[in-house]
Structure 1
């Protein structure tokens, strides 16, 4: 019978992970996904628990394999290592939860799951060339009270909450196990043995300790969740007033490719964009932003783009930001050019973080760039997957970021919400305009001020007042402090048995020969 319970719990967790994560997550399911296997863990043997955890995560993430292999074009060994490696870590985390719970350490058991997963996400963000792209936190990007936690802890605090709630519930609902005097778990004692244990412990009733432990765990983790939600409500008590400057984002998926400026299609696309930019500027737009890698240009063909856009910028007093691939010498760069309203020379920003495989022919940049006479920073697509880069912009005085981008269609929602979360982390307004994705403008609290899908029309335009920045956040000042705190907590939780001094008079166990 236990094998069928294990299969049922694993299947249910896998289904919840499937629908609660990925490119289109159902956010409330994410909170429940680990619960079935965590409830199972103390009810099965030490070998079954990690296997259930492994398959719950591995099967729940199967739908992501085609995206990684076919869309992002990651090598199969990398996909297999990352997907199966994280499944292994989740399985070991379930095993650690079980072991701590059966050893009479319920608070540690409830803590080890969220701490371990935060450490895993943080390690992956440092080890793989994709930044903090992979995190459960983005599933809550539309849940504003929860999302505010990112302004204090980054995505790591949201991940902690998501794993802490099911972990605490599983502890509270655990079977009524009693720790033996030797400290090891065993089968449920008979009533006679329970009475002996209770009397030897000073008369403690057989169910008193589990109940007390459950109350303590519920109180601690309930307080953590209430604190996070209270903080979120406090941050959302008022909406930031718009600055008044109007920003316009304009994109087309036709064509959805890089177009050389010296081709008829390239010159036609310049004219189509220019006429729309001029119309938007005449209607009061202060900034107009185009997508990433719209054009391909070298020093000879670049004037085909710079002449009309610079004229519009100067004549209408509007900053125009355009994304293009620029050839310089024997190197190619993914850049965003800001044509300033003042009529000066364009400001160039070069993308820092290139997509492995898809952008191996490009060279990265390393400098920040601002529109002249403003606090508006320029950034490109994948750069928003890197919290440190956005923190650097805020530390340098940025109040808003303009982000030309290029998505892959089905991942448009996720990429747009990653950008939203970066804004919440640092108190910034984000205006992001992709091809094949979601055009979005968000305020520093993560509210979507304006949004449209690029598939809605041949040319999609989003126009709105630019949201005002918020005060500098704790995350901007302290960075990934919460991830490091989880590293310390995880180390102490798993290492406590090794650090605990032997009780006086406790005989050492004989070694097996």
Structure 2
């Protein structure tokens, strides 16, 4: 009888234990997903997300840690400001969620089994290594990095001029995981000191370097730039882009010429227009109208067009001089496969004097942006399109490329944002272009950068070091017996 009661109590205790474990898991997923969701707009939420997940990982099982990491990343990435509609984006989203959850599970396994300070280093190097490898093979480049959530955290992101975004990701993962280890093992003072001394020292260095770079005067000249877009819906845009209605095409060109006139009157030396505003065949009437507008207003005009060359289509950008001459013709290198399969990708850099050209998705990749920095480019102009709600997600990536490359960035998103930022990532001007009436204009004066960033010279060395560190640590720890580190934390 007594034995039966004891057995029943054990069963009930087990059930309640499982219930609370499940509740803890669900609650962590909810908080982490919401926090990561909000990190698109508020940089500090991404730190909170990583701290919540690392703390949970040290308490939960290996399976629950993986599932919590997976669903937190998956749901948190469903922000409407994501780079692409989910129907197109979901396979990569699942892969990224799986990779993130796997690195989190490895962190948990090492920390619980060996209780060593190596766990935070494994987590940071592993997450950074995955983002880097994914950027080499993903059709979307490096756009999925958590580093972009920090664009508004100016002093922190300056390290990108040395390490690229990989240094940002590394420290974002290192500090929360170190804090989680300290919280979980409060009695282990040696572990606390080891885990936090490195991460806090690195954070202090990064912040001090950031303050130094932000307050060091930029030696480049100033340039006044005008950026414009006109209001149009998708149906109108497609009609004009394919030249199906000559009158609509003429009206579109005329509306843009009015914007060019307005910006020139405001003192703009350079006018930037969005991506694929019309279709052009070599030196046709549409081409001539744009050339005449540049000549009439004595401005450099940079415009994104669909360029038809015989049987091929190119997503191109023309740079017109104040005399109406074509200084540069650049073809987009990184096409959006879901929507631009009929276009032929470009192969060459777009450099005129010290100006570089990138078109929309080109900025999602470290190349050609890094090559521009190596060539001493001081500003990159970016005609772009965007998909309404994702304007900031695209704009912040371009801003980060400017910090990495030490150059200013001017970006014209048709259905997103018009932005002008300097080589430190400071936003000089920003205006929404996703409007229904009239369109949008921006005029701002920005100091040019100098290019030749440290990152452009070192390349992705830091990312490769992270990959090597992750592999070596995992291999080394797999050969050690758990009690070897238990006695020597």
In the alignment, is the contact (CA less than 8 A) between 2:330 and 2:350 conserved in 1? yes
In the alignment, is the contact (CA less than 8 A) between 1:11 and 1:56 conserved in 2? no
- State which of 291, 300, 303 in structure 2 corresponds to 1:322: 303
CA distance in 1, matches of 2:267, 2:41: 37
CA distance in 1, matches of 2:197, 2:322: 57
Q: Does residue 130 of structure 2 align to residue 120 of structure 1?
A: yes
Q: CA deviation at 1:32?
A: 1.3
In the alignment, is the contact (CA less than 8 A) between 1:377 and 1:400 conserved in 2? yes
Q: CA deviation at 1:221?
A: 1.1
- State which of 347, 359, 366 in structure 2 corresponds to 1:387: 366
Q: Does residue 140 of structure 2 align to residue 134 of structure 1?
A: no
CA distance in 2, matches of 1:172, 1:294: 55
In the alignment, is the contact (CA less than 8 A) between 1:2 and 1:44 conserved in 2? no
Q: Does residue 274 of structure 2 align to residue 296 of structure 1?
A: no
Deviations 1:193-234 (A, max 9, x none): xxxxxxxxxxxxxx4xx1121122111111111111111111
How many equivalent pairs are there? Answer: 462
In the alignment, is the contact (CA less than 8 A) between 2:377 and 2:451 conserved in 1? no
CA distance in 2, matches of 1:19, 1:440: 26
Q: Which residue of 2 aligns with 1:102?
A: 112
Q: Which residue of 2 aligns with 1:34?
A: 50
CA distance in 2, matches of 1:376, 1:471: 10
Q: Does residue 195 of structure 2 align to residue 220 of structure 1?
A: no
CA distance in 1, matches of 2:222, 2:61: 63
Report the structure, 1 or 2, having the larger helix content.
Answer: 2
CA distance in 2, matches of 1:228, 1:6: 39
CA distance in 2, matches of 1:16, 1:44: 15
Radius of gyration: which is bigger?
1
CA distance in 1, matches of 2:289, 2:131: 46
Matches within 5 A, 1:396-407: 396-407=375-386
Q: CA deviation at 1:9?
A: 4.6
Matches within 5 A, 1:51-450: 51-63=67-79, 68=84, 71=85, 74=88, 79-80=90-91, 82-175=92-185, 207=187, 210-240=188-218, 243-256=221-234, 257-258=237-238, 259=240, 260=242, 263-299=246-282, 302-371=283-352, 374-450=353-429
TM (norm. structure 1) is 0.83
Q: Which residue of 2 aligns with 1:463?
A: 443
Q: Which residue of 1 aligns with 2:31?
A: 15
Q: Which residue of 2 aligns with 1:452?
A: 431
Q: CA deviation at 1:63?
A: 4.8
TM (norm. structure 2) is 0.87
Q: In angstroms, what is the RMSD of aligned CA positions?
A: 2.6
Q: CA deviation at 1:466?
A: 3.1
CA distance in 1, matches of 2:26, 2:253: 54
Residue segments in structure 1 that go unaligned for 5+ positions in a row: 177-206, 505-513
More displaced, 487-496 or 275-284?
275-284
